[in-house]
Structures are given as structure tokens and as C-alpha cells.
Amino acid sequence: MPNHPATDWGIVTVFTIVYLGMFLGGLPRLKLDRSGVALLGAIAVIALAGIPVEDAARAIDLPTIVLLFAFMVVSAQMRLGGFYGAVTRRVGAMPLSRNGLLAALIVVAGALSAVFSNDVVCLAMTPVVARLCLQRGINPLPFLIGLACAANIGSAATLIGNPQNMLIGSVLQLPFAGYVRQALPPVLISLVMLWGWLVFGPGAGSPHPRPLPEGEGVNSPGVEEPAFDAWQTTKGLVVAGALLVIFLFTDWPRDVAALVGAGVLLLSRRLHTSHFMGLVDWPLLILFMGLFVVNHAFESTGLAAQAVAWLGTQGVHLADPGPLLVASALLSNLVSNVPAVMLLLPHLGGSGEQAGVMLALVTTFAGNLLLVGSIANLIVVDLARQQGIEIDWKRHAVTGIPVTLATLAVVWGWMRFVN
């Protein structure tokens, strides 16, 4: 049943304000972040349109929320076991040259981000990488910027590497193994290109930041690193490995399998449930649920469908590779990648697996363009600052912009001419 015109305009107004909040990271004069804006937006459209709470709940893609929550628990297990820091220190202890060490860290960050959350990988690895570089007397900027970029790129390799990929895989019902086969080559090529730019590009000659102040480091307040626990790490790796096998070789529901895996990890005699729950990114889950409701209300106005139909009459079809790449890259840097995916997904139905793969790759790679384009970037910047290392938007742009343009060209070429 169509809404009253006044109701439609009210929904459009709320939708516009919510996505303005996504662009700004909050709303002026209010202590609201993106999650708060999305939550209040959902409340507003429910009240304006008189949407029953049951209908609002049905607008939420529950399999995506469950899968996201479950892998937050898996990532929490690995972090509580001190796995990420231990791996980083092991790589740092290898007798490698500066360029070899950079390559090893890029590979590790990319591989871990393909299975675990790229944000968590950056959160755990950044202090260790910063300290390692300063102890060796080498410029940490290429390593830290490379860590953020590699985590973003690597997370695109699977449908569990980041939140937007989980959403795309769930909504479009993409096969896990089929996605990996298509996404892995451009991801690997992009990681090599990232290393090449950091080694031979102008970013390699960045001035060395100021020295690390005495007493600061990975054990400073706010950068607490759990000690390595072999048993907890093994437990997490076994569950994560089992889930990967299930995803790759069976058609079991991914959300159910992941939830069972999370349940196994919660059965612990040493780690309290509150430890896991404290590391779950609840604001991100709220952001997802709020945007599901707001977008559902906006779709009910019919304006989005009309806009897409008009674009079609002009010869612009969102599901086509060119328009999809441009729209995905632009929206990802305007409103962030998760909201961008939510806006584009309803218009890709029936477009096939390739459209879903391109959407996942582009929205993830585009996060490297600007410093604010990815939460992983901001995590690295914030933690580097705690180590006395300043990474401003100009230093990031020297790597982020060319690497993003090059990797998007790789995606275009791979999806258009090879795959």
C-alpha cells in the first residue's frame, strides 16, 4: 500500500539527513556518530510511516547480522589469544631486508584480513609494526600505510573479509568458492602493486617522522596487547579453518555454521563471555540494522526505482560494469562502503554473480582512496599517533590515491576482459 505524499517526503527528508550523517561521520552540534544517526533515522521512519515493529524487523537481513556477529566473536578469540601480535613479531624477527619485511607484512595483513576482520587486524598489528620499525631505525610510514591498504585489499578476497562483502554474499546468495576464484587474482595483483608503489614510488622517500618518545610503545595505555596463548589461538584457528572448509566445500548456510563456530568458542573455562562481548563491534551491528530499516522505508516511496528507471532510459544501467564501478567508488567515498553497498544492492537483483563480485571488490578497494575512506585507515592513524607517529591525509594520499586508481583498473580489466 503506497504511502501518503506527505509521509513520502518525510521519509525522503530522514533518508537525506541519515546519509548526510554517513558523509559527515555524524551530525553537526550533536554527539552522534554514524551508528547513532542510523538508529535515530530508523526510529524516525518507523514513527513517520507508522511501520509496525515486526515489519521493520523483517527489513533487516538477519543472516548478514548473524554472520557478522559470529565472525566478530571469532576475531575476538584470535585477539584474546594474542595471535595477531605474535604473528607480526615473528615476521619482524625474520632476517629480511627492508623491502622483504614490507612484502612479508603486506602478505600477512592481506591474508589475515581475508579470514578475520580487516579492522581487527589493523587494531592488533599497528602498534607492533610501529614499534618494530622504530626499533630497527626504518621509516614506519610506508609500513603503516601499507598495513592499512593491504588489510583493505586482502579483505576483498573472501565473502567474510569485511562487513560489506558479508552483506553482498548474503543478499545475492553468492557461492563462497566461486567468489574466491573470481576475486583472488585481482586481490593478489593489487597487493603486489601496493608493494611496488611503496618500494619504488614517491612515498618510499617520505621524511622520517619524529622519534618515539621514551616510554611509549605497544604496552602504553590504550594499546594493551594480550599475551600469546597457544591454546586459545589454536582453538580459534581450528574453528576458523573448519568454517572455511564448510564455506568452500559445502552448501551449508554460512550464517548458521558461523554461529555454531562462535558458540564453540564461547564455551571456555578461561575466557569470560564478557571478554568476547566487549570486543564485539555493537555500533557496527546497530549501523547495519538502522540502515536496513531506513533504506526499506525509502524504497517504499518508489523514488529510487524511478531514478534507476530514468537512468536506464538514458542508457545508464547500474548493473553494467562501467556504471557499477563508478557508482560504487564514488558512493564508497561519499557515505562509506557499507551504506554504499546498501544503496546499490536493491538494483542488482538478477544481474548475476559478476555484478556482486565487482561491487565487493570496488567498494573495498575504494576505501584506500582517502584517509577517511575506511575505518581500518583511521584505526592505523589513531594508533600510530599513540606511538608518536603522525600520518596526515597528504602522506596517506601519496599512496592511497595512485594505489586505489591502479587497483580499480585491475578490477575493471579482470572483470571485463579476463574473467
pLDDT tens digits, one per residue of 153-163: 999 999 999 99
Sign of CA dihedral 278, 284, 288, 291: positive
Q: Model's pTM, two decimal places?
A: 0.88
Give the closest residue to 152 by CA, choosing from 317, 412, 371, 383.
371
Quick one: pLDDT band at residue 217, thresholds 50, 70, 90?
A: very low
Distance CA 402, CA 201 (A): 10
Return all residues near 127 (Cβ < 8 A) that are at least 6 apart.
85, 217, 218, 223, 225, 383, 386, 387
Give the closest residue to 12 by CA, choosing from 334, 297, 346.
297
Distance CA 363, CA 348 (A): 15
Query: Is residue 133 over pLDDT 80?
Result: yes
Are 99 and 250 spatial neighbours (Cβ–Cβ below 8 Å)? no
Are 358 and 164 spatial neighbours (Cβ–Cβ below 8 Å)? no
Are 226 and 84 spatial neighbours (Cβ–Cβ below 8 Å)? no
Q: How many domains does the chain have?
A: 1
pLDDT digits (tens, 9 = 90+) for 54-96: 999 999 999 999 999 999 999 999 999 999 989 999 998 888 8
Distance CA 297, CA 326 (A): 26
Distance CA 389, CA 340 (A): 31
How many residues are present in the chain?
A: 419
Quote the DSSP letter at residue 417: I
Average pLDDT over residues 310-319: 82
Residue with cell 554517513: 22
Average pLDDT over residues 344-348: 86
Cα within 13 Å of Cα(82), Cβ side: 12
Residue 199 belongs to domain spanning: 5-418
Average pLDDT over residues 23-47: 91
Are 155 and 165 spatial neighbours (Cβ–Cβ below 8 Å)? yes
Q: What integer best gives the mean pLDDT of the chain? A: 88
